[in-house]
Amino acid sequence: MSTHVISKTRELLHAWERFCEQQSKMHDTARAHYKFYNYMIAIPAILLTTISGAGSLGISSKHNDVALSYVLGSLSLTAGAMFSIHRYMNIPELQQLHDFYGDEFLKLRNNIRLHLVITDDEDNKTFSSLVEFSKHIKTILDNCIDKSPSLPPMVVGLKKKSMGKKFYSKRMFNDYSYALSNIEEDRTNPNVDISK
């Protein structure tokens, strides 16, 4: 069992832990972003619909005012357009998905951190448990990355700006995944000296 392979695997897990933490924060920011737009479109549309509906009932019971009918009709059309935009953009669904994947990435981060702490003890630093755990985490991470909704460019831009060189993109995750396959290949290849 090589300490080189173990240290490389632990380094890889530390990088994935930071990647998961960053993804969790960005999905949480995206959730707040979509929540704001959800409220900014849905609440005014509901109010406009209520006002135009109440006004229409008032007009029909008293007299026929053409100007007021146009105003109320315009309010109804505006509310309808707002609801259509709200539905077309899938804002509530995106808000819910970002909330879900923010939690999923946070759970993965916590799981990786716990495993790293447990395997920090020399007696528990077995290669097989680290590699098996890394493979398991990589499968879950690949699934989360593939199924999670795209982050709004504004959210990614803000995170890049705040983190600078510490920003982990999905491309970097793939590079780390490639590194895991190299670690596994080094372990199984008898011609490679991994005892360095």
Using one digit for the tens of pLDDT, what is the confidence trace for 109-137? 999 998 888 877 655 555 567 888 888 89
Number of structural domains the chain divides into: 1
**Assigned domain for 68 exists:** yes
Q: Residue 194 domain-assigned?
A: no
Q: What is the pLDDT of residue 17?
A: 92
CA distances from 45 to 31, 72, 86 (A): 21, 13, 10
The 8-class DSSP code of residue 13 comes to: H
Would 145 be classed as within a structural domain?
A: yes
The end-to-end CA distance of the chain, in Å, is 12
What tokens does 58 get?
């008032």
Position 176 pLDDT exceeds 70: no
pLDDT in tens, 58-104: 565 555 666 767 777 787 888 888 888 888 888 899 999 999 999 99
pLDDT category, 192, cuts 50, 70, 90? very low
Q: Is residue 196 part of a domain?
A: no
- Name the residue range of residue 37's domain: 3-188
CB 173 within 8 Å of CB 48:
no
